[in-house]
Amino acid sequence: MSTVVGQRLAKNKIVRDTSGAIIDWFDEVNGGWIVQKRAIVNMEAWNAHLQKEKDRAEAASAIGKAKIRDDYPETREGSNTSNAKVDELDKKVNAIDEKLNAILEALKK
């Protein structure tokens, strides 16, 4: 990956092993080598990278940690529209059962 600095492209090269660990990381914009032969050379840039990774992980888990708000009834458990439809169908089935029972009673007489 390269970025434009002035009139030329700045070099940014990251080499990783098969498990994803950084072997070499050269970033011309951040002062050159950040990681070289698995050794951290530029601690300030490395700490900035770790902070970005921490922020990404926190943002990814934020949805799972979100609090359900009471002012949105569709997010409360048991009050969404699909439950209302199920309740309505249940009432219709019960009404049909009552009608069938009444018909059976009339046939028995």
pLDDT: which is higher, 72 or 99: 99
pLDDT tens, position by position, 55-93: 999 998 887 777 766 666 555 555 555 677 888 888 888
Q: Could you list the residue range(s) of the whole structural domain that residue 92 is in? A: 73-108
From its phi and psi, is residue 6 left (phi > 0), alpha (psi between -120 and 50) or beta?
left
Residue 3: name the closest of 24, 27, 23 by CA.
27
Q: How many domains does the chain have?
A: 2
- Residue that is last in its domain, among 46, 65, 84: 65
pLDDT tens, position by position, 11-69: 889 999 999 899 999 998 888 899 999 999 999 999 999 999 999 999 988 877 777 66
Paired sense of beta strands 32-36 and 22-27, if any: antiparallel
pLDDT at 71: 66
What is the pTM assigned to this prediction? 0.51
* Co-location of 7 and 52 in the same domain: yes
* Co-location of 95 and 42 in the same domain: no
